[in-house]
Amino acid sequence: MTHLMIDLETVGLSSNAGIIQIGAVSFDQNEITGIYHSLVSAESCERRGLTVDKDTLSWWNRQDPELRKYVFSGTKDIAEVLEEFLSGFPDARQYQVWSNGADFDLPIIKNALEVCGFRYPFDFRKHRCFRTLKALVPPVVYLEVPPNTKPHDALQDAMHQTHVTQACLRYLECLHI
């Protein structure tokens, strides 16, 4: 089974939020098979009608200054980044697509793709929720996974979530589920 973990950093919480960072990791049960990462210009999102939320910016202003400086350093246009992202996963319909919560990252990236003139390539029947998977297995299953030392960095979040998902999937396979 081919999986794809997507994590976004955004400047809002709604489905039309601007994206400032994309981290994506393709993987199977045992290994990572691909990585995509890019930083996005928040201004390019605004120019395309994606929203910036003042409360979210306020939240970002309370985060580690180095992290904030890095995450907001993107200069690429959102459409350019999304085109790169899509080209990195040409067989998108084959993936089980994971995110940390079924109602955040995937609706936001779907909306951004459509705003930029791209078709959403993933099969909605293959959307998966990392948070739900993690809640279904005993925590001891993924305690072997080192903690994420850089939360709110989309690539680091996606990598950590991938390692936990792999541990959970191996556990479930042992149970023949």
Q: Where are the domains of the chain?
A: 3-174
What is the fold, at CATH topology level, of the domain defined by 3-174? Nucleotidyltransferase; domain 5 (3.30.420)
Contact at 8 Å (CB) between 25 and 5? yes
In this predicted structure, what is the pLDDT of residue 60?
A: 98
Is 1 a residue whose pLDDT tops 90?
no
For 21-29, what is the mean pLDDT? Answer: 97
For 167-174, what is the mean pLDDT? Answer: 95
In this predicted structure, what is the pLDDT of residue 5?
A: 98
What are 79-119's pLDDT values in tens digits? 999 999 999 999 999 999 999 998 999 999 999 999 999 99
Contacts of residues 159-164 at CB distance under 8 Å and 24 or more positions apart, as own/partner, are 159/23, 159/25, 159/32, 159/35, 161/5, 161/7, 161/98, 161/100, 161/130, 162/3, 162/5, 162/25, 162/27, 162/32, 164/130, 164/134
In this predicted structure, what is the pLDDT of residue 108?
A: 98
Mean pLDDT of the chain: 97
In this predicted structure, what is the pLDDT of residue 42?
A: 98
In this predicted structure, what is the pLDDT of residue 40?
A: 98
Question: How does residue 63 score in pLDDT terms, banded at 50, 70 and 90?
Answer: very high
Is 177 a residue whose pLDDT tops 70?
no
